[in-house]
């Protein structure tokens, strides 16, 4: 449904024309393609490519709902709670490492995308089964290691889904990320309710095994439809731009590789700071949400699950809404040239206000005020990935976007969320 709506909006957004991207060169050669060939690619985009990328993001998004297992595991043995909570943060860092390596591999070997995703599926399935046996045997060490290592498989779905959707929507950078990240949010919504239902019906062990089977089947369904378009393909044009040899010509719509020069770009580190500040507090609130709401306001597991689902709906709408709106928030060529940059200013200001007010509302036992602050933190976390993905393409050109997003949305995001998760688990331990 989202993809169909997006297709109808494409004609409106295309009126804004081509976006200029830094790091591009005019050394290109073009060959004409007939209208049927271009139309076939457009048809493939909406009927197969974009839905497949969104489905990968949906599968990955369901992993954000793993926090619903925390209370049932704590009921089995309180010794499992801290290892599982902190491992969710380490898992985020594992995802980051995979995104960084995967970004390089996808840029260098785009034809190997399906193999990359399939290997990730094997890792995800095996670590999920390992986690199930660890929980059944009440083994904190196994729970920690398996949950942490699961990220190496989940990261392939994330970077693969982001790049697949973005490369099939080159003229709509913000909307592409809104679709992808919105699908991620939808996955977390479905996961939060589905996992709780599986736990209630099957128990923790069988719920993990059922989760493994569902994720495996859905991932296998996407594999036949995963392939990148030719570098430089533009659905608005009647020609296809084909890049020449790596030593002589570069695609106009793609840019040129920065390589190690990326590490001396000030904008690169500014992007990392934006992502770290946006993602860390929100993720810390997300993984600790069940414990916070139970201990602070005495809510039941069922009530917490319902609130978590509501927050995930809000996060999904935030991802799609921000991805859609950043295409309209650019003003001129000065300081406010980028809609994604302008959105980051708004998001971080709102997050700062929430962090200041949340302890006050918690101390006064004001549920409405505290929940509003938590909602803001969830929204800032949802927004950070969209902003990182769009800025990676706008600032460093599409040819560098995968590796830049691997650093920003992967390594930096993962390290920051890991730190906040470990801090939260430490606080939880001291509070018991």
Q: What percent of the chain has pLDDT over 70?
A: 85
pLDDT value of position 254 = 52
303 pLDDT band, cuts 50/70/90, is: confident
Of 308, 303, 292, 70, whose CA–CA distance to 199 is shortest?
Answer: 70
- Whole-model pTM? 0.68
Backbone angles phi, psi at 329, to 5 degrees: -95, 10
Residues in contact with 345: Cβ distance below 8 Å, sequence separation at least 6, in sequence order: none
DSSP code per residue over 323-376? HHHTTT---SSSTT--HHHHHHHHHHHHHHHHHHHHHHHHHTT-HHHHHHHHHH
Of 396, 384, 37, 431, whose CA–CA distance to 181 is shortest?
Answer: 384
pLDDT value of position 431 = 63
Q: What is the rounded CA–CA span in Å between residue 325 and residue 317?
A: 12
Task: Look at residue 410 and tell me whether its pLDDT is greater than 90.
Answer: no
205 pLDDT band, cuts 50/70/90, is: very high
Q: What percent of the chain has pLDDT over 90?
A: 24
Using one digit for the tens of pLDDT, what is the confidence trace for 112-136?
899 999 999 999 999 999 999 999 9
Q: Read off the tokens for 200.
A: 């209630």
Of 160, 63, 150, 154, whose CA–CA distance to 116 is shortest?
Answer: 160
pLDDT value of position 247 = 29
Using one digit for the tens of pLDDT, what is the confidence trace for 326-378?
877 878 777 888 888 888 999 999 999 999 998 899 888 889 999 999 999 98
Backbone angles phi, psi at 232, to 5 degrees: 90, 0
Using one digit for the tens of pLDDT, what is the confidence trace for 45-63?
888 888 999 999 999 989 8
């Amino acid at each position: 449904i989202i993809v169909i709506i997006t297709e109808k909006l494409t004609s409106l957004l295309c009126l804004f024309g081509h976006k200029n991207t830094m790091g591009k060169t005019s050394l290109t050669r073009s060959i004409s393609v007939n209208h049927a060939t271009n139309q076939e690619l457009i048809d493939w985009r909406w009927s197969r490519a974009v839905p497949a990328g969104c489905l990968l993001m949906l599968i990955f998004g369901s992993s954000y709902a793993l926090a619903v297992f925390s209370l049932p595991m704590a009921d089995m043995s309180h010794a499992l709670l801290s290892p599982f909570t902190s491992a969710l943060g380490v898992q985020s860092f594992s995802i980051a490492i995979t995104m960084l390596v995967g970004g390089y591999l996808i840029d260098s070997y785009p034809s190997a995308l399906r193999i990359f995703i399939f290997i990730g599926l094997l890792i995800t399935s095996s670590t999920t089964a390992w986690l199930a046996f660890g929980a059944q045997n009440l083994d904190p060490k196994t729970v920690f290691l398996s949950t942490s290592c699961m990220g190496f498989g989940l990261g392939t779905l994330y970077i693969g889904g982001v790049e697949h959707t973005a490369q099939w929507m080159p003229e709509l950078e913000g909307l592409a990320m809104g679709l992808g990240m919105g699908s991620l949010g939808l996955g977390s919504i479905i996961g939060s309710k589905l996992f709780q239902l599986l736990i209630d019906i099957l128990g923790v062990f069988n719920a993990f095994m059922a989760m493994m089977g569902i994720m495996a089947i859905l991932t296998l369904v996407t594999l036949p439809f995963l392939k990148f378009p030719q570098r430089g393909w533009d659905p608005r044009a009647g020609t296809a731009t084909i890049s020449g040899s790596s030593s002589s010509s570069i695609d106009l719509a793609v840019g040129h590789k920065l390589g190690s020069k990326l590490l001396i770009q000030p904008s690169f580190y500014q992007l990392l700071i934006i992502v770290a500040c946006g993602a860390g507090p929100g993720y810390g609130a997300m993984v600790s949400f069940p414990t916070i709401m139970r201990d602070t306001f005495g809510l039941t597991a069922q009530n917490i699950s319902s609130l978590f689902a509501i927050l995930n709906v809000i996060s999904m709408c935030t991802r799609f809404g921000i991805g859609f709106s950043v295409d309209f928030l650019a003003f001129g060529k000065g300081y406010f040239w980028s809609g994604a940059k302008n959105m980051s200013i708004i998001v971080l200001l709102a997050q700062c206000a929430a962090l200041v007010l949340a302890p006050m509302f918690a101390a006064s036992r004001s549920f409405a005020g505290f929940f509003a602050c938590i909602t803001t933190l969830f929204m800032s976390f949802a927004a950070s990935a969209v902003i990182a993905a769009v800025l990676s393409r706008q600032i460093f050109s599409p040819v560098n976007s995968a590796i830049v997003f691997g650093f920003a949305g992967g390594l930096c995001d993962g390290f920051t969320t890991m730190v906040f998760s470990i801090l939260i688990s430490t606080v939880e331990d001291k509070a018991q």
